[in-house]
A and B are shown apart, each in its own frame.
Chain A
């Protein structure tokens, strides 16, 4: 089945540790995104990538890093520099760019719930 997978589902991190969240898609989508969701707030964009080997910062990139070495994979590292990393992290992908480019309908993975101990 085609879809987006994220792992792990739950992650616990000690302060000062870096952790990496996995996101894989087999939808043949060019664009991939990482969002963070906090209670009572809308999703906020961390990083996005519209093509392999290229990515851009979103609205809240500080303390995070990404890579896009393969079309299918877009891992997110939460570094120790991220002051308040406890949140629900969602990865998404969108269909190939049409005329005019840019974001299209986005499909989400099941998310990773990160808790800092």
Chain B
């Protein structure tokens, strides 16, 4: 069974705090995507990481792909209420096409 463990499942923090979300698997991924989903909407792609050890930054969000391409992390610096939402990691086993395996998601609440 292909599994992607995402943690923590829920996170409630104050505005200005930092946080990290983790995504782990025993399998090697060809690529890994991070999505953000608002209630009642579809997931919106934030970033794709492809190379082991790769680090990508999107404003206050930093994404890292593990050296062995089995894990990834999302770090948010100085969280803001607008960061509130569901964050999903998804791994692909094939390079070009094929299904994504999703983690269970992390529900983030940032209180003003």
- Do chains A and B stick together as partners? no
Interface residues of A (CB under 8 A from B): none
Interface residues of B (CB under 8 A from A): none
